[in-house]
């Protein structure tokens, strides 16, 4: 077997090993449903495609297919730009920046410019890159724009994490900022080595992603509610402390306090196993809501949950929550559970009149119980009873 064939085989094995590392990390990270995890999830998905792309690139070079080789090169460098953009989004989310759809779209503008430039280079051979007689990739000066955009995202992530490490008061926030500084610096170092040594950095990048997951895995075990799979109270408190100030500057940011109606009656009548199933069903619905609306979902305690999300207005936010309540009721019927399941939701906007996250939670909690009591009054009015709640009814309403 020739040395070239051995080199190709080893390269293929390395790429496949990297792909396995990325896919395993991707599968584990899929269980998390906060904004930062979704950004990292997308970056890991792009990295998995990058591994396959590099594998295809090696084989197209071996088979002397120039057009296919250029196509793989174009996809390769586009994915690198996207991964850097998603890493920057991940850092911002982890450090408490409110990433609305508009802000996310603005962050992707430079990467989209790279995509347009790479496509133009693909239809205009020699504009960005070409293959010489020895089938080695040669770049034109225009290609430095692609590298500059990728490094711009990485340097921005490093700079923001460095600033947060100095500004944040909380020890936990400073520790997280330093961790993100370390990984941003490692990725920048890998990129510089790739430019200087002309070597692939897919393997180190894959290992860095796996290490990042391992470091945060223990925290996930502590901060994820085991029954519903949602964030637990500890992570909710930390999240609200991080985003409370920036979200007050967002015009349409909301907190919803969610309570399962008649949960005590479900436990007393059908047993605690059925009560657990009701909480799991509610947790799945909240996870789906979080995925669809870039929201943060957490179990506050018992049968109470919290949602933090942005929407275009209070009416639209209320409509989203009505669809959530309908979905929970429909899921209960579809699964043929021996009870009806409904939610009471108190919705309040992040606003300047709240001085702390605790006040915001208290306001949403109060709003939720007011709505629950109003509904009970209406139900009693329809049945011909007095509109005044007895003490026993009040206790039931609280349940």
Q: How confident is the model at residue 290 (pLDDT cuts 50, 70, 90)?
A: confident
Regarding whether 237 and 218 lie in a shared domain, the answer is: no
Q: Are residues 171 and 191 in the same domain?
A: yes
Q: Which of 372, 379, 378 is nearest to 394 (CA)?
A: 372
Token pair of 235 as six digits = 């992570």
Same domain? 14 vs 146: yes
Q: Containing domain of residue 350, as a range?
A: 233-398
Checking if the pLDDT of 15 tops 80, the result is: no
Q: Work out the pLDDT band at 106, boundaries 50, 70, 90.
A: confident
Q: What is the pLDDT of residue 330?
A: 92
Please say if the pLDDT value at position 4 is more than 60: no
Nearest to 307 by CA among 230, 222, 223: 230
Nearest CA to 311 out of 15, 81, 101 is that of 101
Q: Cβ(19)–Cβ(51) under 8 Å?
A: yes
pLDDT in tens, 41-93: 666 667 667 667 777 777 777 777 777 778 877 887 888 888 888 888 888 87
Q: Which one has a higher pLDDT value, 174 or 265?
A: 265
Residue 256 lies in a domain: yes
Q: What is the pLDDT of residues 120-142, one digit of tens each?
A: 887 887 788 777 777 677 778 88
**Could you tell me where the beta strands, DSSP code E, fall in 145-242?**
none
Tally of domains in the chain:
2
Q: For residues 331 and 86, what is the distance between their CA atoms, to the nearest angstrom?
A: 34
The pLDDT, as a whole number, for residue 346 is 93
71 shares its domain with 185: yes
**Contact indicator for 370, 344 with CB cutoff of 8 Å:** no
| Max avg pLDDT among 58-72, 133-147, 201-215, 271-285 | 271-285
pLDDT the model gives residue 35: 58
Strand intervals (E) in 163-313: 253-260, 296-301, 304-310
Residues 241 and 385 in one domain: yes
Count of beta carbons in the 10 Å neighbourhood of residue 289: 22
Let me know how long the chain is. Answer: 399
Query: Are 349 and 378 in the same domain?
Result: yes
Residue 258 has pLDDT above 50, yes or no: yes
> Are 179 and 326 found together in one domain?
no
Domain CATH for 276: 3.30.70.270
> Do 54 and 190 fall into the same domain?
yes
Q: What average pLDDT score do residues 173-198 get? A: 77
pLDDT at 172: 63
Q: Are residues 72 and 194 in the same domain?
A: yes
Per-residue model confidence (pLDDT) at position 37: 62
Residues 237, 207, single domain; the answer is no
Of 168, 198, 223, the one marking the end of a domain is: 223
Task: Please say which residue of 187, 203, 223 terminates a domain.
Answer: 223
pLDDT, position 72: 78
258 and 391 part of one domain: yes
Residue 178 within any structural domain of the chain: yes
Instruction: Report which of 249, 251, 248 is spatially closest to residue 359, judged by C-alpha positions.
Output: 248
Based on the domain organization, do 250 and 366 belong to the same domain?
Answer: yes
Is 228 within the bounds of a domain? Answer: no
* 254: its two tokens: 């909301």
Q: Categorize the per-residue pLDDT at 356 as very low, low, confident or very high, splitting at 50, 70 and 90.
A: confident
Q: Of 168, 192, 223, at which residue does a domain stop?
A: 223
Residue with the larger pLDDT of the pair 158 and 69: 158
Q: How confident is the model at residue 280 (pLDDT cuts 50, 70, 90)?
A: very high
List the CATH number of the domain containing 117.
1.20.1070.10
């Amino acid at each position: 077997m020739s040395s070239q064939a051995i080199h190709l085989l080893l390269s293929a094995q390395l790429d496949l090993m990297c792909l396995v590392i990325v896919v395993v990390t991707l599968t584990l990270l899929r269980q998390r449903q906060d904004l930062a995890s979704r950004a990292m999830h997308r970056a890991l998905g792009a990295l998995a495609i990058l591994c396959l792309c590099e594998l295809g690139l090696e084989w197209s070079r071996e088979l002397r297919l120039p057009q296919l080789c250029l196509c793989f090169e174009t996809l390769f460098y586009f994915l690198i730009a996207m991964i850097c953009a998603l890493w920057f989004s991940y850092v911002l989310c982890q450090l408490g920046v409110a990433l609305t759809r508009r802000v996310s779209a603005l962050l992707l503008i430079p990467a989209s410019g790279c995509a347009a430039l790479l496509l133009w280079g693909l239809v205009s051979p020699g504009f960005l890159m070409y293959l010489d007689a020895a089938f080695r990739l040669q770049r034109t000066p225009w290609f430095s724009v692609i590298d500059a955009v990728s490094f711009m995202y990485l340097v921005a992530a490093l700079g923001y994490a460095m600033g947060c490490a100095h500004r944040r008061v909380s020890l936990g926030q400073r520790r997280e900022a330093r961790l993100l500084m370390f990984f941003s610096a490692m990725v920048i170092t890998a990129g510089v080595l790739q430019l200087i040594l002309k070597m692939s950095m897919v393997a180190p990048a894959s290992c860095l992603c796996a290490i990042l997951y391992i470091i945060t895995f223990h925290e996930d075990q502590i901060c994820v509610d085991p029954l519903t799979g949602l964030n637990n109270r500890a992570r909710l408190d930390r999240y609200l402390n991080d985003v409370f100030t920036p979200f007050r500057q967002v015009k349409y940011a909301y907190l919803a306090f969610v309570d399962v109606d008649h949960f005590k009656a479900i436990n007393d009548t059908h047993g605690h196993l059925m009560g657990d199933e009701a909480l799991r069903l509610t947790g799945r619905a909240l996870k789906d809501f979080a995925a669809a609306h870039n929201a943060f979902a957490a179990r506050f305690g018992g049968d109470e949950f919290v949602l933090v999300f942005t929407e275009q207005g209070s009416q639209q936010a209320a409509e989203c929550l009505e669809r959530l309540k309908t979905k929970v009721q429909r899921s209960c019927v579809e699964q043929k559970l021996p009870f009806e399941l409904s939610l009471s939701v108190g919705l309040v906007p992040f606003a300047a009149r709240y001085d702390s996250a605790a006040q915001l939670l208290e306001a949403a909690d109060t709003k939720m119980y007011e709505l629950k009591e109003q509904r009970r009054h209406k139900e009693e009015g329809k049945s011909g009873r007095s509109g005044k709640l007895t003490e026993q009814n009040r206790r039931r309403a609280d349940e």
